[in-house]
């Protein structure tokens, strides 16, 4: 633990915050070690106390001119948002800097566009935790640096359709939530209603309780309810329009968090690959890029999740006017599509999970495919993979940060590359 500077009689110290760390916490260097102080901003004079090697904010002595009043009453405790206290301009710059710094760490210094920010109240996919306590059921998000659940009554990030159902979700959780551990409720706001997928229910929950909870959720207005591996109860099939197609995700299936962000990212990818006769969509999910690209190109999709591929294929079959779409269930981490197979495509889009796509990117680097669109949710692994592509002769044409996880420290990035393109 670093030496505590000038601690007063109550163990508190006064320090000046020097920078924002990558997780959105203010940081101060003490005895050569960077110490994070949540909810603080650079330039602020603050009083802190140490809990082990962690710092706790006691008082903001001199606030930053960039400080604003958080819009959520749960902000002081909830760990879901970390930057509601930072004004818009510096906030956008912070998100942009996460991408710039990650690329620079790999010797890459392309121009990085200003951050595109999703509006409040538009996040359609939320994962809520629930736990039974002596005082009743807690439903919400984890607090910072803790497994404690912050019981929420509102969420300015989420779609209003979701927040209006928080009390119904808590009622649903009451007979199913465990005493130890936590139940997970994944709620997705679809254009035709709310989709609910519940996992990790209490082991003592009887089949009758599960059935009644599902029936109550339908009565409360949920469109589809799936609890564990049971067959879903539904009033209709949740669906979203993706270009000319209607996508019907499996229960709990992955979707981009914000429909506005998804549409913006898809427009960039589609424009970049619009002249490709054949496109490979790697880590395709249920087809948010594939189905749009198929309006102009033949598409082959690869994804490790069988349910996602099934949903993609069903959507493609039912959509009028699409070019041929083929798909395969494939573990791209262990079994990447080889360069010789990729070489028949004129364009590739890949959207891997947070840890990136080391093996698959190595194959792309040797494929000779002219245009690549890389959509990433982690600047560090993105920079690592881009270094491989740049070393293979690809030029970075666009780097666009996309903030679809509002007020968090996460940032999505769309990078467009061309083999032998302009610098």
Helical H segments across 274-326, by residue range? 290-293, 306-318
Q: Is 286 an annotated catalytic residue?
A: no
Measuring CA to CA, which residue among 149, 158, 154, 157 is closest to residue 178?
A: 149
**Angle, CA 22 vertex, CA 16 and CA 27 arms, to 5°:** 15
**DSSP string across 144-210:** TTSSPEEE-S--TTB-HHHHTTHHHHHHHHTTT--SSS-EEEEEEEETTEEEEEEES--TT--HHHH
Distance from C-alpha of 80 to C-alpha of 83, rounded to nearest angstrom: 10
Q: Which two tokens stand for residue 51?
A: 């809990």
How many residues are there in the chain? 423
Distance from C-alpha of 49 to C-alpha of 275, rounded to nearest angstrom: 59
Distance from C-alpha of 351 to C-alpha of 31, rounded to nearest angstrom: 41
Is the torsion defined by CA of 320, 322, 326, 332 positive or negative?
A: negative
Write out the E strands in 263-409.
278-282, 298-303, 325-329, 347-350, 371-376, 394-403
Distance from C-alpha of 341 to C-alpha of 359, rounded to nearest angstrom: 14
Distance from C-alpha of 47 to C-alpha of 37, rounded to nearest angstrom: 10
Residue whose entry in the numeric block shows the structure tokens 């930053």: 64
Measuring CA to CA, which residue among 316, 280, 283 is closest to residue 297?
A: 280
- Dihedrals phi, psi of 247, to nearest 5 degrees: -100, 130
- Dihedrals phi, psi of 8, to nearest 5 degrees: -85, -175
Residues acting as catalytic residues: 377
């Amino acid at each position: 633990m670093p030496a505590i500077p000038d601690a007063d009689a109550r163990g508190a110290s006064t320090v000046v915050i020097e920078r924002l760390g990558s997780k959105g916490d203010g940081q101060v260097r003490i005895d050569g070690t960077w110490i994070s102080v949540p909810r603080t901003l650079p330039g602020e004079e603050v009083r802190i106390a140490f809990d082990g090697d962690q710092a706790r904010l006691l008082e903001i002595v001199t606030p930053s001119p960039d400080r604003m009043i958080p819009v959520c009453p749960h902000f002081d405790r909830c760990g879901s948002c970390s930057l509601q206290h930072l004004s818009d301009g510096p906030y956008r710059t912070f998100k942009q800097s996460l991408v710039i710094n990650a690329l620079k760490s790999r010797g890459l210094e392309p121009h990085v566009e200003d951050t595109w920010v999703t509006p409040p109240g538009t996040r359609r996919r939320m994962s809520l935790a629930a736990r039974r306590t002596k005082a009743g059921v807690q439903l919400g998000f984890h607090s910072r640096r803790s497994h404690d659940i912050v019981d929420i009554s509102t969420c300015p990030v989420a779609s209003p359709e979701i927040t209006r159902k928080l009390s119904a979700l808590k009622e649903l959780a009451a007979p199913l939530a465990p005493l130890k551990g936590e139940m997970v409720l994944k709620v997705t706001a679809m254009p035709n209603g709310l989709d609910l997928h519940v996992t990790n229910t209490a082991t003592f929950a009887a089949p009758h309780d599960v059935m009644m909870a599902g029936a109550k959720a339908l009565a409360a207005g949920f469109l589809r309810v799936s609890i564990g591996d049971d067959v879903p109860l539904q009033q209709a099939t949740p669906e979203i329009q993706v270009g000319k197609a209607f996508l019907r995700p499996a229960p709990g299936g992955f979707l981009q968090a914000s429909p506005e962000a998804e549409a913006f990212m898809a427009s960039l990818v589609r424009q970049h690959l619009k002249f490709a006769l054949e496109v490979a969509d790697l880590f395709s999910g249920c087809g948010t890029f594939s189905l749009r690209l198929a309006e102009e190109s033949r598409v082959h999709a690869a994804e490790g999740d069988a349910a996602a591929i099934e949903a993609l294929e069903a959507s493609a079959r039912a959509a009028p006017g699409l070019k041929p779409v083929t798909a395969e269930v494939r573990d791209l981490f262990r079994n990447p599509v080889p360069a010789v197979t990729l070489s028949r495509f004129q364009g590739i889009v890949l959207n891997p999970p947070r840890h990136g796509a080391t093996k698959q990117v190595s194959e792309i680097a040797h494929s000779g495919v002219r245009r690549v669109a890389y959509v990433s949710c982690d600047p560090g692994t993105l920079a690592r993979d881009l270094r491989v592509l740049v070393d293979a002769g690809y030029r970075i044409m666009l780097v666009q940060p996309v903030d679809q996880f509002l007020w968090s420290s996460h940032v999505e990035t769309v990078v467009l590359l061309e083999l032998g393109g302009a610098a």
